[in-house]
Amino acid sequence: MTTSIHNPQLRLLNALRANNKPIMTFMGLPSFRTAQVIAQTGVDGIIIDCEHGHISDDSMHSAVAAIAAMGVSPLVRLRGTHSDLVKRALDAGAHGIVVPQINTAQEAEAIVSSAKFPPQGLRGQGSAFPGFALGIDTPTYIKTANETLITCVQIESNAGVQNVDAICAVPGIGVSANAMQDLVFIGPNDLALSVLGYVPAKGDEPEFVDAIEKIATAAGKHGKWVGRLSNSGASAKEHLKVFDTVAISYDIRAIQDWYKSELQVARS
């Protein structure tokens, strides 16, 4: 496993490799056109949210194709850890997967096994779609997928924090076990709920700060990229001083915030 393979279609991966601090966002609305609109904004990656969003399997396929066609990296946040969910997302052509609520090294190992073709894993081959989203033919896709697709795990619970060193030590979380090719993502809201018992966190609670620092330290120790959710451009700017990438807000929240803001002005 090396990091020598370069595909210009893989915008998020290439930006991470170049330390360009890429910015992503979440998409929860099931629309091909919504995917296109968001992809035109300048983001480097869009996480299609099959965990909390209103995204069906069909909508996920359409969004992956629409986003990739705009030169942006589509990632799919799964609704669970089952191997079928990994397979469906990657077979649709996702440039990577985001897996929520990873609490143990064993869970991380199972995800890696499902996401990698043999001999690194047990992923089966049969879909003609992934190559479309990466701009390559199927044989090239099979040959390069293990190195070029991002497998991102979310640490967002007290159990995950306690086991974060072992989770980050799992070979194959990301694109290469031997280089800065892996991504650990912090879900601050669920993390606050688990660690503090409430959301949102104020941000300065010692337990919350310690949990985030522990995750970031473990990621760095094991050569992983680390990212987190940011709720605004201002917070994203601050977070990018520390983190390798951020996901800024959510399409649903963006629509709500715009209407709330403009309605306040209109009614003032």
52 is an active site residue: yes
Structure tokens at 206: 């010692």
What gap in Å lies between CA 93 and CA 266, rounded to an integer? 43
Radius of gyration of the chain (CA): 18
Asked whether 185 and 98 are in contact (CB, 8 A), the reply is yes
Measured CA to CA, the distance from residue 68 to residue 133 in angstroms comes to 5
Q: How far apart are CA 117 and CA 217, in angstroms?
A: 30
State how beta strands 23-27 and 245-250 pair. parallel
CB of 192 closer than 8 Å to CB of 199: yes
**Angle, in degrees to the nearest 10, between helices 32-39 and 57-69:** 30
Q: Which residues contact 55 (CB under 8 A, 6 or more apart)?
A: 27, 28, 30, 48, 49, 63
Closest CA to 197 of 157, 235, 249: 157
Instruction: Dig out the tokens for 165 from the structure.
Output: 């060193």
From the candidates 6, 52, 54, 82, which is the catalytic residue? 52
Q: Which residues are catalytic?
A: 52
